[in-house]
Amino acid sequence: MSNQNILPDSGPVVVGVDGSPASGLALTWAVEEAWLRSADLKLITVLTTVIPPPTFGYVLPQDVADTSRFAAEAAERLKVAAEIAAHQRPDVTVTTEVSEGLVAASLLAAAKGAQLLVIGTHGHGEIHDLMLGSVSRQVAAHAPCPLIVIPQPRNSSVAGPELGRVVVGVDGSAANESAIAAAFALADRRGLPLTAIHSWDVPSFDSVGLGAPIVLADANEIEDGELRAMAESLSGWRAQYPTVAVRQRIVHGSPAQVLVEASQGAAALVVGTRGRGGFVGLLLGSVSHALLHHSGCPVMVVRLNS
């Protein structure tokens, strides 16, 4: 385990604000993280004035093209958010920023030098559908600090086996160390237990045309080996965070399905963007869409060298 400067430990916590329910939950998370980290809180909203082209026989009203109205709405959003933050944690220092331009670029610029970037998955303003398209992949792939994505509030609550726990996907790679570090630190700050999950599919002879599945004894031997490897990779972090209760799980199945199921009712799900094994390229392709769209808890994305 190499934990020297593996995660940023200075700078503000940055949160994207657009006035949506998910944005409100992101604000709550960000305020608490800022307080727990003894960090400042930076609120950012992105001003992207999109004017639809006039259609035949229709004259575009002047007020639609008046960007000052959008700027005033953005300023009001930040004012309300700052008041909510002050009420939640009065001793957290809050700054605000109205950024003009593309959403992903604005968020990435604001996250430079930050400890953490927090955003919601859905919105009705400038960050609308942020985590369901190309913007999400840009932010996850290029964020200079860990990213927390807060899911859209749901009417029904499903409690899974990891209820109230921090869950981290483990693949045994060096790149995965940052995700493990972030998961232990998060669990420690919030006084929560942690579950480390490794996903693997049982190989079969049928995959190479031999037609016979791997025998159970071989599968058990593979699983025992994976558990030993995971225990070794976690041992240093256990020593650094002795008060964090840790549970290990080896689960057969696809990474997306395993992690989505584990996220139901969990306090947070922590994953890396690069690695090998079951979590290769997890947040850089279609799996990321499924995970961020269906996760039942906040998702922390930790990019290699964040």
**Per-domain residue ranges for the chain?**
1-52+67-153, 160-306
pLDDT at 118 over 90: yes
Distances (CA, A) of 303 to 8, 10, 24, 289: 12, 17, 25, 16
Question: Do 1-52+67-153 and 160-306 share a fold?
Answer: yes
Rounded CA separation 99/76 (Å)? 14
Rounded CA separation 214/218 (Å)? 7
pLDDT at residue 290, as a whole number: 61
Rounded CA separation 202/220 (Å)? 10
Rounded CA separation 189/192 (Å)? 8
User: What's the pLDDT tens digit per position in 87-115?
Assistant: 999 999 999 999 988 888 899 999 999 99
Report the b/e string of 148-184 with b at 16+ CB within 10 A.
bbbbeeeeeeeebebeebbbbbbbbbebbbbbbbbbb
pLDDT at residue 24, as a whole number: 92
pLDDT at 299 over 70: yes
The mean pLDDT value for 142-166 works out to: 82
Cβ neighbours for 44, distance < 8 A, ≥ 6 positions apart: 14, 15, 16, 17, 96, 97, 98, 99, 106, 107, 110
Band of residue 293 on the pLDDT scale cut at 50, 70, 90: confident
Mean pLDDT rounded to a whole number for the chain: 79
23 with 17: CB under 8 angstroms? yes
Among 33-42, 169-178, 292-301, name the one with the lowest average pLDDT.
169-178
Lookup: tokens for 231: 């225990």
Percent of the chain residues past pLDDT 90, beyond the cut: 40
User: What's the pLDDT tens digit per position in 60-69?
Assistant: 454 444 566 7
Structure-derived torsion over alpha carbons of residues 157, 160, 165, 168, reported in degrees to the nearest 10? -120
The mean pLDDT value for 3-13 works out to: 78
The mean pLDDT value for 47-64 works out to: 54
The mean pLDDT value for 19-46 works out to: 94
32 with 88: CB under 8 angstroms? yes
Please provide the CATH number assigned to the domain covering 160-306. Answer: 3.40.50.12370
Q: In CATH terms, is domain 1-52+67-153 a member of 1.10.10.10? A: no
3-state secondary structure of 150: strand
Percent of the chain residues past pLDDT 70, beyond the cut: 71
Q: Are strands 147-150 and 299-302 parallel, antiparallel or unpaired?
A: antiparallel
Choice between 204 and 119, residue whose per-residue pLDDT is larger: 119
Q: What share of the chain is helix, strand, coil (3-state, %, to 5)?
A: 40, 20, 40
